[in-house]
Structure 1
Amino acid sequence: MRYIIIGAGAVGGAIGGRLHQAGHDVVLVARGEHATALREKGLRLRTPDEDVTLRAPVATGPDEVEPRPDDVLLLTVKTQDTVAALDAWAPAAAHLPLLCVQNGVANEEIALRRFARVYGVCVWLPAQYLEPGVITASAAPLTGMLHIGRYPQDGTTDDTARAVSADLESARFLAPVVPDVMRWKYAKLLSNLGNAVQALCGMDQPDSAELLRRARAEGEAVLAAAGIPFAGEEEQAELRGDRVNIHTVPGTERGGGSTWQSLRRGTGSVEVDYLNGEIVLLGRHHGVPAPVNEALRHGTNVLAREGRPPGSTSAAELLASLPS
């Protein structure tokens, strides 16, 4: 199989780099300065174990890639960019399997409008993209944990999911094939509610922990009201075990999660509408208020629009503005 990585940023670059390093056929899709750097210098992949430069083929869009019957598309863009990416690739590739390797729970349904063979992937892959051409992946001995499952869920798995899993596991990932992938993705959604806290308030403010606690409590209450199951934290930790541990990568900037990185790079947009905003949306459907997540959603979007850096908001002031 050939893997087309649509969005070779932190997650896509780490997965594409590892697959290429393991001998698999990979095309990295990127834009702007990142695409230029990948073409001219290669993908620099920094991990706790090594610092390597990988020369995989690079494309800026579907007009530069001739689809093959054995292609598998890995969609790794942020959710706010999903529609544009799918609309670009669907005309030539809608018959191919598409894996939504993304945070949030909205992408699979969006993809299913355009692609017949859709798979969800729950991403637990601590990675960072702050400089064109350079990806830092900080977990070892395995680089990440990627649950794979068919969408819509029908209680079964298939050969495509198993083949992709085998390739990912050959490339230093834990990649279970599961019949209930959305249960894992909703669990990851709960943990991703902290992305906005980190982006708004930075990583060291003492009141950030209380914001995170309240955001997650709202999330769990909303999912309970909606009757949506999610994997427990102990279940996730037991599966990871000692195989996917976060380490310091020498010489790299201490950074945050994906939303923090978007603000740090000044992209102008963040994915909070599909993380904290997902809890707000479900809460409105089921009559459960989610004021903390709404404040985090709104505040992070303001920082992105105004081009302000991460950590620009006082956690104590934000807490004081919320209903008790």
Structure 2
Amino acid sequence: MRTLIIGAGATGGYFGARLAQAGHDVALLVRPARADTLRRRGLRLTGLGEPDERVEPRLLTAAELADTPGPDPYDLILLTVKATGLARAVEDFAPAVGPDTVILPVLNGLAHLDLLTERFGAHRVWGGVAKIITTLNDDGDIVRLAPFATLDLGPIDGTDPDRARRTAALLDAVPGVQATASAGVLGDMWGKWSFIVTVSSVNILGRGNVGEVVAVPGGDALGPAVFAEAAAVAAASGHALSQEVRDLAVGMATQADSPLTTSLYRDMTAGLPSEAEHLFGDLVDRARALGVPTPLLDLATLQLRVQEARLGKG
């Protein structure tokens, strides 16, 4: 299976490193500056008290991919960029897409599926949920913060479940990766989306990490209330969330002394562009169309939009 991973950040870099270590035919499509760093230092994994690992996967830039005469299409394209970089990434990897290519995005939310299916067709686009806690340090190395790295995947149009099972089996055989073929991948995506907006809303509306919000009177009620709104939108969309999903989201959003903040909140407080519209704007738009009231999510979305407007004027 020829695999092209779009991005070599904390998520794409980890999966790319593990596939390369296992001997897979894998390449990483990266920006020129990132390619220079990786060619000089290698792709490095660190953290969890384990010995550092250095991997030298095959790297491609968009120009190199476009200039390759008659490139063989890839079997799997694992898309790991943020929503803010999605449109450019699509143009970059388009030359690698062939008749039988599967595009597997692991972005949060659902809005990206519309763009990808419109461009490449629903038969080529799968849904995916990656659960991995990694970050990049100042040197661009991938720091593992938790021992798990899971990937749930499946076709969004319900076709070719056998290929999904074969693909998951190949990825699951890679040390350091747990992959599962999901018959309800859209429901899985709704579950992760609801989790992210719940914790992000606690951060945004409470102006602090989870522990700081929970520590003040009434703070422990915020997470459950936000999750209830997100779950109502999911249910109205035909994807009722399980008790397991609720327990995880509410538990993480009400944990005392937790330093947890989401990357969206960290981008917001750092004055950086965020996935505000992809994660919050799209969700509240769906809620309005379905007639589901979401006052807390609306307020969090408003705050994010004010911040984005400030950036646009900067």
Name the TM-score class by shorter chain: 0.7 to 0.9
Within the candidate set 89, 100, 107, 2:105 is matched to 100
Q: What's the offset of the Cα at 1:113?
A: 1.4
SS at match of 1:23: coil
How far, CA to CA, are the matches of 2:98 and 2:263 in structure 1? 28
CA contact (8 A) 1:35 1:133 kept: no
Deviation at residue 149 of structure 1 after TM alignment: 0.2
Task: Considering Cα pairs closer than 8 Å and 6+ residues apart, tell me whether 1 or 2 has the greater RCO.
Answer: 1
**More helix, by proportion:** 2
**TM-score of the two chains, using structure 2 as the length reference:** 0.79
Contact 2:154 2:164 in 1 (8 A): no
CA distance in 2 between partners of 1:231 and 1:285 (Å): 23
Equivalent position of 2:233 in the other structure = 222
Would you say 1:170 and 2:154 are equivalent positions?
no
The answer to whether the 8 A contact 2:47-2:143 is kept is: yes
How far is the alpha carbon of 1:168 from its aligned partner?
3.9
Amino acid at match of 2:58: P
Native 8 Å contact 2:74 2:96 kept in 1: no
Q: May I ask how many residue pairs the two structures share in their alignment? A: 287
CA distance in 2: counterparts of 1:144 and 1:278, whole angstroms:
27
The match for 2:251 is none
1:12 and 2:12 are equivalent in the alignment: yes
Structure 1 residues 180, 73: CA separation in 2 closer, same or farther (over 3 Å shift)? same
CA contact (8 A) 1:5 1:27 kept: yes
**Which consecutive residues of structure 2, in runs of 5 or more, have no partner in the other structure?**
249-258
1:159-238 matched pairs, under 5 angstroms: 159=163, 161-197=165-201, 200=204, 201-203=207-209, 204-207=211-214, 209-233=220-244
> Which deviations, in whole Å up to 9, do the C-alpha atoms of 1:233-255 show, x marking residues without a partner?
26997xxxxxxxxxxxxxxxx87
Deviation string 1:130-164 (CA, Å, 9 cap, x unpaired) is: 53521122222xx322111012235x513255234
Query: Structure 1 residues 159 and 153, CA, compared in 2 at 3 Å: closer, same or farther?
Result: closer
Match of 1:114, SS state, is helix
The answer to whether the Cα contact below 8 Å between 2:202 and 2:223 also exists between their aligned partners in 1 is: no
CA contact (8 A) 2:229 2:294 kept: yes
TM-score normalised per structure 1: 0.77
CA distance in 2, matches of 1:100, 1:231: 23
CA contact (8 A) 1:21 1:54 kept: yes
CA RMSD of aligned residues (A): 2.9
2:54 pairs with 1:53 = yes
- Structure 1 segment 20-169 matched on structure 2, within 5 A: 20-31=20-31, 33-48=33-48, 49-61=50-62, 63-64=64-65, 66=68, 67-95=71-99, 96-116=101-121, 117-140=124-147, 143-154=148-159, 157-159=161-163, 161-169=165-173
Residue 121 of structure 1, CA deviation: 0.8
Q: Quickly say closer, same or farther: Cα 1:133–1:80, change in 2 above 3 A.
A: same
Q: Distance in 2 between matches of 1:90 and 1:69?
A: 10
Query: Which consecutive unaligned segments of at least 5 residues does structure 1 have?
Result: 238-253, 308-324
1:52-90 Cα offsets, whole Å, 9 max, x none, are 121112223264364424542111111232222113322
Q: Letter of the aligned partner of 1:128 in structure 2?
A: T
- One-letter amino acid matched to 2:102: P
Q: Is the 8 Å Cα contact of residues 128 and 257 (structure 1) preserved in structure 2?
A: no
Identity over aligned residues, as a percent? 29
